[in-house]
């Protein structure tokens, strides 16, 4: 017991001097630190903690890494947690394409639909400034999780990849924004009429009562309230990254 505690204290001491520490509910401790160096990506597990390393890049830097150390007594979900790798992926794409976007929208399809899994990120500060619920396509799964992804017409699936917000128009679902697929994986987005629109089945009340949001035909639908908040950002034709 002493050796185990001693080992944990050594890890904490090292990381404390390199990291910012955030205490979360549920007996979980998260620690993050960044380095301007290259290391091998990896994960070390024990019954007491998980140490995760993710490789990231930023403009003006050779590279940096994010470390997180989690002590878990139970399986806990953090709705405000955004993948550092996903944020860096967006930053690298924008840098490589000479874009100076201030905001981006990230959608984490590894999360269940009764959790807030759509995030507005302010890229210069890497802050989550808003999060909300979003639907996945009926073809991807009728339960809480999206399990199948396809860009095939008629699949009614959510499709992973990067998008640009396109034209704002009024259609079947009212005020909507087209989504332009930027990758081979989502090249049919416009042909499939994949758009952002509001829907009654994505409200917080619906998610709470049904333990999931309803399903769209492949669109990342949001609640009416969320759509109003998203609209000023969508008007900037931001990048949307749907990942798992």
Q: Is the dihedral of CA 157, 226, 199, 237 positive or negative?
A: negative
The architecture CATH gives domain 79-244: Beta Barrel (2.40)
Residues in the chain: 244
In angstroms, rounded to a whole number, what is the distance separating the alpha carbons of residues 107 and 86? Answer: 10
Spatial CB neighbours of 182, under 8 Å, sequence gap ≥ 6 = 161, 162, 163, 164
- State the residue for tokens 């000023």: 232
Residue 239, number of CB atoms within 10 A of its CB: 22
Query: Are 113 and 136 contacting, i.e. CB atoms less than 8 angstroms apart?
Result: yes
| pTM for this predicted structure | 0.71
- Half-sphere exposure of residue 206: CA atoms within 13 angstroms, side-chain side: 18
CB atoms near residue 149 (< 10 Å): 22
Residues 79, 116 contacting (CB under 8 angstroms)? yes
98: phi then psi, degrees, rounded to nearest 5: 55, 45
Sheet with 161-171, edge to edge strand ranges: 127-132, 118-122, 103-108, 239-243, 161-171, 174-181, 195-197
List CB contacts of 109: < 8 A, sequence separation 6 or more. Answer: 117, 136, 140, 146, 149, 158, 160, 242, 243, 244
Which residue's structure tokens are 């967006």?
A: 90
Reduced to 3 states (helix: H, G, I; strand: E, B; else coil), residue 29 is strand
Phi, psi of 30, rounded to the nearest 5 degrees? -115, 135
Question: Measuring CA to CA, how many Å separate 103 from each of 90, 93, 111, 219, 235?
Answer: 10, 13, 21, 20, 11
CATH 2.40.440.10 placement within the chain: 79-244
Paired sense of beta strands 239-243 and 103-108, if any = parallel
Q: Give me the tens of pLDDT residue by residue for the chain, a chain 244 residues long.
A: 444 555 555 555 555 444 433 333 233 333 333 332 333 333 334 444 444 444 443 333 333 333 333 433 333 333 456 888 899 999 999 999 999 999 999 999 999 999 999 999 999 988 899 999 999 999 999 999 999 999 999 999 999 999 999 999 999 999 999 999 999 999 999 999 999 999 999 999 999 999 999 999 999 999 999 999 999 999 999 999 999 9
């Amino acid at each position: 017991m002493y050796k185990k505690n001693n080992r944990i204290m050594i890890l904490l001491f090292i990381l404390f001097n390199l990291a910012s520490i955030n205490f979360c509910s549920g007996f979980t401790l998260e620690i993050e630190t960044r380095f301007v160096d290259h290391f091998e990506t990896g994960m070390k597990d024990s019954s007491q903690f998980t140490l995760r390393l993710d490789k990231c890049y930023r403009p003006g830097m050779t590279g940096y890494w994010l470390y997180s150390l989690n002590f878990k007594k139970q399986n806990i979900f953090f709705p405000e947690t955004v993948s550092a790798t996903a944020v860096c992926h967006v930053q690298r794409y924008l840098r490589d394409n000479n874009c100076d976007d201030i905001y981006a929208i990230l959608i984490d399809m590894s999360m269940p639909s009764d959790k807030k899994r759509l995030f507005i990120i302010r890229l210069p500060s890497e802050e989550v400034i808003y999060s909300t619920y979003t639907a996945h396509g009926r073809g991807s799964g009728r339960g809480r999780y999206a399990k199948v992804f396809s860009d095939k017409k008629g699949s009614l699936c959510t499709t992973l990849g990067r998008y640009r917000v396109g034209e704002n128009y009024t259609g079947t679902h009212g005020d909507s924004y087209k989504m332009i697929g930027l990758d081979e994986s989502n090249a049919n987005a416009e042909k499939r009429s994949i758009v952002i629109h509001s829907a009654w089945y994505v409200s917080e009340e619906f998610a709470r009562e049904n333990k999931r949001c309803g399903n769209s035909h492949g669109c990342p639908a949001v609640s009416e309230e969320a759509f109003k908040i998203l609209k000023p950002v969508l008007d900037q034709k931001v990048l949307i990254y749907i990942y798992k």
